[in-house]
Structure 1
């Protein structure tokens, strides 16, 4: 999920005007937000399936496809590099179309609401000082300006104590087989000075690389399970639930065959493929 892409789709994307025979602007906006939910921070590589977009927006598949065509015609989305989709989805027959969002395109300033204009909703309450008196109005969108940098008097050091690097450094998960995987042997039982220790920095880098490799292996295993499964979609969902990649009918069929085999043995029937015993 990309916050930058979603903010762009909600506030800055220049949606086309209403036209006869084309999807409504609300449908276009909802589809664009759904695509932004899968995009990278720079707006690239959004490749949700059409079924996933339908579940997000509650629009029909035909409307979703029409919205995508309209957004592509207007230049708000462009096809992404197919190699990016292929790197995540191995099976070519299950790869959806990927899209790049044009985050550089924004609405013209004359189409934006001027400062102070309301849409009929509840206005913001005026800011008040410590004595309950309203603060003087400021220019802009009602946001108080930042105070000038610097201070007339130096603050009290005791009231502005900053944490040391050792206190602000969150501990990393331990490496397998080690009690403190983010520290060197000299600081294994004492964190004091570990933030400035070169050996501890190397240990932290090794621990982070191990965590990344484990996350990558887990993601690859999940993707392989999705590619092997014929019950879920490209995102690993079976309907609205996360797929466990198990066919409920397979277990029932195995139990039925076991019951038939046991019944045949109790009746004295030969096993399948064996001739009947002579009487």
Structure 2
């Protein structure tokens, strides 16, 4: 078993013994970490192992964090940490030094070790196997990226080819060409402002009128091409709610634009602005009144002297 290096008893020149011991300690911890990385542990066991490593001294001793503390630091459950620590002891990478005192709140003390038969106890990857596995992952990633680029280049070429249906749809039908044109309706207040009309045209969110000669949704129509409001059927309730929602959004946008307190999104820092300059003063006065009322309630009552 490869344990942490012990103190040397051979006389050496000044500072040489300390340098040798430091090098041995660093080498031991380096070997221990490489062994944990190469082992085919679960990610939970490796996380607990390296969390235990942070509690060890430079020579790998005095590892004594409790299971509850390890669970908090590694963000794992108590049972998962306990199983991972038992796995490290079983394979020969961790050794129990002394039991703790549960009554006094002392945890068990462990030390990091590399057992002589650790290679036979666990499954691990050699440096050559690690390099081969990493190369395989890199090649698979490069192949997936190349396939994605080929697919992205092929999509514009497919979209540029016009289908026969699209070519036929570019010419008006005889009935449509001979049909009389409907005069443009006069602009009314129900059409909304110019900003609302432009937004609905760009977003293609204009609700259909219910008529059979409505243009397909892929064609952009201006408000002047719509039939007169008197010719439209009664709007269903869902469209009425949609119009009300659009009106609320428009009113909010106008309030944000006219407000000098909030930003372009209607926020003052992390809070939503109510566009009321006196709201902050009223809130401060209300908070002061509440604190004063609480202070009066907490003050002890004066009991009059019976004598």
Q: What TM-score bracket applies, with the shorter chain setting the length? A: 0.3 to 0.5
Task: Give TM-score, length-normalised by structure 1.
Answer: 0.34
Task: Give TM-score, length-normalised by structure 2.
Answer: 0.32
The structure where helix makes up a greater share of residues is 2
Q: Name the larger-Rg structure.
A: 2
